[in-house]
């Protein structure tokens, strides 16, 4: 079974559900992607989703359950650790449940920045830590397809 995980980088706009599979998002996800759920690990994201009356089910750490009072909780994830992004936690969750993972919108894998449509993301040098973590995770699970814009290799 395959799954698509949508990050928040600019290349997410190239997403096509081909080959077909379930679709999950990270943080602020757009409902037009027809998501099964979105992974959220930050309080500010949950608060904003509540304020906007989001209809997207969430997968969250238990510490956010109270803040997610008006949202549909799909499942729970462990809290973030230093040097880990919501995308990393989502990937680990999905690789335990699917045989093939397609990544879209994870531009920090090849770009030296954290450009994101999720407001409030602090970049600093997070992309360096995130990239190292991605390399280790993907090395451990070879059935990962990273979708990049034309001409980009990872």
Domain membership of residue 53 (yes or no) is: yes
Q: How many residues does the chain have?
A: 154
How many distinct structural domains can be found in the chain? 1
Sheet containing 22-26, strands listed edge to edge, beginning at the edge strand earlier in sequence = 73-76, 58-60, 37-39, 22-26, 2-6, 100-104, 144-146
Predicted pLDDT of residue 29: 79
Predicted pLDDT of residue 94: 97
Whole-model pTM: value is 0.86
Domain membership of residue 90 (yes or no) is: yes
Domain membership of residue 151 (yes or no) is: no
Domain membership of residue 119 (yes or no) is: yes
Predicted pLDDT of residue 152: 66
Q: Which domain holds residue 62?
A: 2-146
Domain membership of residue 154 (yes or no) is: no
Predicted pLDDT of residue 76: 97
Domain containing residue 20: CATH number: 3.90.1480.10
β strands within the chain, DSSP E: 2-6, 22-26, 37-39, 58-60, 73-76, 100-104, 144-146
Predicted pLDDT of residue 31: 78
Give the Å distances, CA to CA, from 146 to 19, 93, 108. Answer: 13, 17, 12
Residues of the chain with pLDDT under 70: 83, 110-128, 151-154
3: CB partners within 8 A, 6+ apart: 21, 22, 23, 24, 94, 97, 98, 100, 101, 102
Domain membership of residue 45 (yes or no) is: yes
Domain membership of residue 57 (yes or no) is: yes
Distance CA 115, CA 117 (A): 7
Domain membership of residue 31 (yes or no) is: yes
């Amino acid at each position: 079974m395959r799954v698509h995980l949508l990050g928040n980088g600019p290349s997410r706009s190239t997403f096509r559900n081909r080959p077909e599979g379930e679709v999950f998002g990270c943080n602020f996800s757009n409902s037009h992607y027809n998501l099964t759920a979105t992974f959220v690990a930050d309080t500010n994201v949950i608060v904003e989703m509540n304020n906007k009356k989001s209809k997207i089910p969430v997968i969250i750490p238990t510490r956010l359950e109270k803040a997610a009072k008006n949202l549909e909780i799909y499942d729970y994830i462990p809290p973030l650790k230093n040097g880990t992004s919501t995308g990393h936690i989502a990937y680990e969750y999905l690789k335990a449940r699917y045989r093939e993972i397609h990544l879209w919108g994870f531009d920090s894998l090849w770009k030296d920045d954290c450009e994101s449509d999720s407001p409030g993301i602090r970049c600093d040098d997070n992309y360096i830590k995130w990239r190292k973590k991605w390399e280790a995770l993907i090395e451990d699970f070879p059935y990962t397809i990273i979708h990049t814009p034309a001409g980009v290799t990872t």
